[in-house]
Amino acid sequence: MSDLTQLEEKILSDIAGADSEQAIETVRVAALGKKGAISERLKTLGAMTPEERQVMGPAINGLKSRVSEAIGARKQALHESAIDERLARETVDVTLPVRPSPLETGRIHPISQVVDEITAIFSDMGFSIAEGPDIETDYYNFTALNFPEGHPAREMHDTFFFSPDDTGERKLLRTHTSPVQIHTMEKQSPPIRIVIPGKTYRCDSDPTHTPMFHQLEGLVVDESANIANLKWVLQEFCKAYFEVPSLNMRFRPSYFPFTEPSLELDIQCDRSGSEVRFGEGDDWMEILGCGMVHRNILRNVGLDPDVYQGFAWGIGIDRLAMLKYGMPDLRAFFDADIRWLRHYGFRPLDMPTLFAGLSA
Ligand code: DAH
């Protein structure tokens, strides 16, 4: 058997044995590449006698074209089977039901919903939203808010204190959102119209108290803010939040160190049935504390109390949520129980707005 016949058999059997597109490429390079077996043979033609060349030229070139053709055919076959294999592997069963998206299964926590509802109402009235730190100093949580040293009102707050730091200062978890009043007035000059939603902390736990809870603070400071304005703002808020056309309110005198006079607000309700209804009935429910900003607070932030005056209020957000949506136990709000959230949670795309309805 001649050398060329042997070479051809060897290459053809390599071609037949190549089982991937990569393998056939290796065979091609070994035969027809620059230094491939057939290319090397072609190079020998130059050194041959014309007679030899007349025989060997067509023989080697014939071999080259047969091998190229065989490689091309094998390549094509391997390419097609690679596609077939991929099609078989990547089949999609279009009859399967569509998996529900997170938008269908996810729920917004009632606290987030109520914060969105409340901020929608106050934004509509021209208020901005302010925030402040959860970890506070004694100064912002108490002293600047006119709590005298050793005053029993400090004890009433059941404060969580941190261990003293290197300077001996004891930081604390804010017991109310009122310190943000001070931070805001230090940074911004009047007119100020803000609401402050946020987490607050007190050492307390029963069906209506948790160690961490939420408040919404409101603050208005300008040269003419007065109790009539306060009353109107709170009345509009209560009507919008409880989604009732009218609502009676009652103010009772109270005490907070940072307001003078201090008031508590009750709203009209009916508790005769299994649930509390607002805007009707002859019962009352306390919902918030409020008052005119104490002159000392204005002085503490460098405002002249003979020029500026303001009003403020603080509401428990969790309690507002319980009153509107009927949850019996506050502690379940923070248990992260998915069944509770499915029951009481809100659909993610149902953003509360005043024009489309808050809880619709
Ligand atoms: N900070 C008070 C508390 O947590 C609530 C409060 C009452 C806030 C009256 C106010 C206010 O801004 O004017 O008990």
CA of 257 to the centre of ligand 1 (A): 9
The answer to whether residue 357 sits within a structural domain is: no
Shared domain for 56 and 142, answered yes or no, is no
- Dihedral class, residue 124 (left if φ above 0, else alpha if ψ from -120 to 50, else beta): alpha
For the CA of 314, the nearest atom of ligand 1: 8
The answer to whether residue 104 sits within a structural domain is: no
Q: What is the pTM of this model?
A: 0.72
256 lines ligand 1 (CB under 6 A): yes
Instruction: Answer whether 254's CB lies under 8 Å from 264's CB.
Output: yes
Shared domain for 81 and 116, answered yes or no, is no
Digit-coded pLDDT (tens) for 341-359: 999 999 888 878 877 777 7
- Distance CA(320)–CA(325), nearest Å, equals 9
Shared domain for 200 and 266, answered yes or no, is yes
Shared domain for 157 and 221, answered yes or no, is yes
Structural domain range at position 292: 109-344
297 lines ligand 1 (CB under 6 A): no
CA of 291 to the centre of ligand 1 (A): 9
- Distance CA(342)–CA(360), nearest Å, equals 17
CB proximity list for 292: less than 8 A, separation 6 or greater = 226, 227, 230, 259, 260, 261, 309, 310, 311
pLDDT of residue 282: 86
> Of the residues 178, 196, 227, 317, which should be mutated to test ligand 1's pocket, given the most ligand atoms within 8 Å of the CB?
178
What are the start-end ranges of the H helices in 46-187?
Answer: 50-89, 102-105, 110-124, 138-141, 152-156, 179-187
Closest protein CA for atom 7 of ligand 1: 289
Shared domain for 69 and 121, answered yes or no, is no
> SS3 for 199?
strand
Shared domain for 167 and 281, answered yes or no, is yes
**Encoded amino acid at 59, one letter:** A
Please give the span between the terminal C-alpha atoms of the chain, in angstroms, as a whole number: 92
pLDDT interval class at 360 (50, 70, 90) = low
The answer to whether residue 229 sits within a structural domain is: yes
Checking if the pLDDT of 165 tops 70, the result is yes
Residue 201 belongs to domain with CATH number: 3.30.930.10
pLDDT of residue 1: 47
Shared domain for 280 and 334, answered yes or no, is yes
For the CA of 178, the nearest atom of ligand 1: 1
CB atoms within 10 A of CB 168: 6
| Number of domains composing the chain | 2
Digit-coded pLDDT (tens) for 192-205: 999 999 999 998 88
Shared domain for 37 and 66, answered yes or no, is yes
239 lines ligand 1 (CB under 6 A): no
Shared domain for 9 and 150, answered yes or no, is no
Instruction: Answer whether 157's CB lies under 8 Å from 202's CB.
Output: yes
**Which residue carries 């208020």 as its tokens?**
127
The answer to whether residue 97 sits within a structural domain is: no
Digit-coded pLDDT (tens) for 332-345: 999 999 999 999 99
Shared domain for 115 and 246, answered yes or no, is yes
Digit-coded pLDDT (tens) for 92-124: 888 988 888 877 888 999 999 999 999 999 999
> SS3 for 102?
helix
The answer to whether residue 355 sits within a structural domain is: no
